[in-house]
Amino acid sequence: MKSKFALKLTMGASAILLAACGTTTTSSSSGTSSSSQGSSASAKNIKVFVIPKQLGNSYFTTADSVKSGGALAAIQQLGATGTETSGSASTPSSQLPVIQSAITQGAKALVVSATDPTALCPTLNSAMAKGIAVVTYDSDAPTCRTLFVNQASTSEIGTSEVDLLAKEIHGQGQIAIVSASASATNQNQWIGYMKQELKKYPKMSLVSIVYGNDNPATATQVTQGLLQQYPNLKGIISPTTVGIAAAAALLDTPQYRGKIALTGLGTPNEMKKYVADGTVQAFELWNPANLGYLAGYAAVLLAQHKITNKEGTTFAAGKLGKYTIGPNHTILLGPPYVFNKANINNFNF
């Protein structure tokens, strides 16, 4: 497990980084590929746009950057040109113009974490109609993409978060969810499985779901609202790295520490402090850099027509090894990982 999490922090000497106006572009200056599958000649003209839900969210910075070994690293390794671009808010109105602009700029592949599938699908469908490979990662748009690279089993993420919380609060008491945006596919699917899993714990009751929109100030505000409205609250699940960090900061006081349990999905670097002082016992995530790398890798291979999205298709994804496309044109990165006091200091992202 640990080796899957080892982050490669080395950066290829050929990386060209242009950081301006929310856009980072990287390409291979030699045009040669370090992958056995990469044909430099055809990859050279391939432009891949990596479009996370938002920029400025450290989860996506890790998932996408060359430095962390994310999506742009894979694209560069295969000899194609990658650009990370998005808006600053995790909303479709911020993301959609960026997708449209990528199409206009001659994208051959898009790697997208969908803020809102309903709003994005017309544009993503027209991209596919033009022959552009649309790879979703992190947050899917199930009816309008070529391939989805899923970070971990959707059901396992949802159910395991409820189980983690149940263990901490002995299966009893009022709980609430601090989610990202109300339109995010990933959080909504995980919450669906949380509700199912809660049926196993009849003494736990879900009293509220609030939305912090992956904005630290909004997440703080809605969590404050919960604490006021539900004085008997025993636990919070926040399946978003932005939400859990905001909630942890609020619970990090003698009034709440050890009295209201918090779990969900966080990055180790943002959560270390709260795990060390006992505000949080355990939370989950996967390796975001590997998620981005796999999505970037698959996007280039699809754009080169080296693979199709057909179930059963197998390919070697560089440093990550072999992957097979499963049902519903989906690839699964691996299982979620639980971080706690015993292991959190082994991670740096």
Footprint on this chain of ligand RAM (rule: CB under 6 A):
53, 57, 59, 113, 138-139, 180, 186, 214, 240-242, 265
299 contacts 245 by C-beta, under 8 angstroms: no
* DSSP character string of 69-106: T-HHHHHHHTT-EEEEE--SSSSHHHHHHHHHHHHHTT
Shortest distance, CB of residue 95 to ligand RAM, whole angstroms? 12
Shortest distance, CB of residue 276 to ligand RAM, whole angstroms? 21
Shortest distance, CB of residue 145 to ligand RAM, whole angstroms? 15
Closest CB to ligand RAM among 83 and 240? Answer: 240
Q: Which residue has the tokens 């796999």?
A: 294
Shortest distance, CB of residue 109 to ligand RAM, whole angstroms? 20
Closest CB to ligand RAM among 173 and 266? Answer: 266
Q: Which residue has the tokens 């891949």?
A: 48
Closest CB to ligand RAM among 241 and 281? Answer: 241
Closest CB to ligand RAM among 108 and 274? Answer: 274
Strands 47-51 and 18-20: unpaired
Which among 41, 39, 34 has a CA at the least distance from the CA of 13? 34
Closest CB to ligand RAM among 171 and 336? Answer: 336
Shortest-Cβ-distance residue relative to ligand RAM:
59
How far is CA 54 from each of CA 101, 139, 180, 215, 242, rounded to the nearest angstrom? 15, 12, 12, 10, 12
Closest CB to ligand RAM among 76 and 267? Answer: 267
Shortest distance, CB of residue 45 to ligand RAM, whole angstroms? 31
> DSSP 3-state assignment of 57?
coil
Shortest distance, CB of residue 73 to ligand RAM, whole angstroms? 19
260 contacts 282 by C-beta, under 8 angstroms: no
304 contacts 75 by C-beta, under 8 angstroms: no
